[in-house]
Amino acid sequence: MPVSEARFRQLALAEAGAVEGAHGGHADFRIGKVFASLPAPGFGMVKLTPHEQELFMAESVAFSPAAGSWGAKGYTRVALDSVDEASLKSAIRAAAAGMAKR
Residue 19's CATH number? 3.90.1150.30
pLDDT bin (cut points 50, 70, 90) of residue 30 is: very high
- Give the residue-averaged pLDDT of 51-80: 96
- Give the residue-averaged pLDDT of 58-76: 96
pLDDT number for residue 1: 74
Alpha carbons 74 and 85: distance in angstroms, whole number = 20
pTM of the model: 0.94
Residue 93, domain extent: 5-100
* Nearest CA-CA partner of 75 in 52, 59, 41: 52
Q: How many residues does the chain have?
A: 102
- Give the residue-averaged pLDDT of 29-50: 96
Q: CB–CB of 22/9 below 8 Å?
A: no
First and final CA of the chain: distance in angstroms?
33
How many domains are contained in the chain?
1
Q: CB–CB of 49/98 below 8 Å?
A: yes
